[in-house]
Structures are given as C-alpha cells and as structure tokens.
Amino acid sequence: MMDMKDFEKKNSIKIRISNIQKENWKKICLKKQISLTSLIIDSVENRILDDERRKVLAFIEKQDNIFGKIENNINQVAKIANGQKFISEKELTSFSIHINEVANLKKKQIEIFIKIFSLIANDS
C-alpha cells in the first residue's frame, strides 16, 4: 500500500530548453491559466489539462442551466393547462412530442457526461 509520503513533491527535474521554447511554453500557460509544472506533467502523463477540465465543468454547468430553463417552461405549460382545465388534443400531442425530445436529449446528455467523467477519472 502506498503512503502519502510517496506523493510529496520534494523532487525536481532540471531540463534544458531554448529561451524561445521557454517563452512559448510560458505563453501557453498564461493563455490556459495553468502553471508550467501542470503543463509539463499533464502532457507527459497524457492527462487532461486543468484549463480543459475547467471548460468541461463549465459545459456541464451550461447544460444543466439549459435543462433547468426547459423544465421551467414545462412547468409553465402545465400551470396554464391546469388553470384553463383544458388543453386541446393538438397542443397535447405537440407537448408530448417535445417532452419526448427533451427526454431523449437528457439521455444523450447523461451518456456524454458518463464518458466525460470516465475520461476524467482515468486521468487522475
């Protein structure tokens, strides 16, 4: 069993690169808002970079917000239908089609999230 001391960062590696390479790497880090250490380690270990991880989390949050808005719209339609105590068959059919589309999109979203999380988990 590994001890936490095995993961302490007390070693360093010195590498030689040109000044141009170093400046290019620093520009990449500045653009991605990550450290040079993170760039090198994540690249060598073939892991998702921190900036990419942030983009994935932002994407997931955006998706959640979109579905939240859809759920609000569904609730508003239900409230109107309940208030009127009537909804035409045409409107009900259209509503049902849209609900099914949302359900299918939600299933696809969950499949994508599972893939994303497995990539991130395998990355750690």
Kindly list the domain boundaries of the chain, sorted by start residue: 17-46, 49-124
**CA separation for the pair 57, 48 (Å, rounded):** 12
- For the cut 70, the answer to whether the pLDDT of residue 124 exceeds it is no
pTM for the structure as a whole: 0.51
**CA separation for the pair 22, 30 (Å, rounded):** 12
Q: Which of 116 and 93 is assigned the larger pLDDT? A: 93
Tens-place pLDDT, residues 17-27: 999 999 999 99
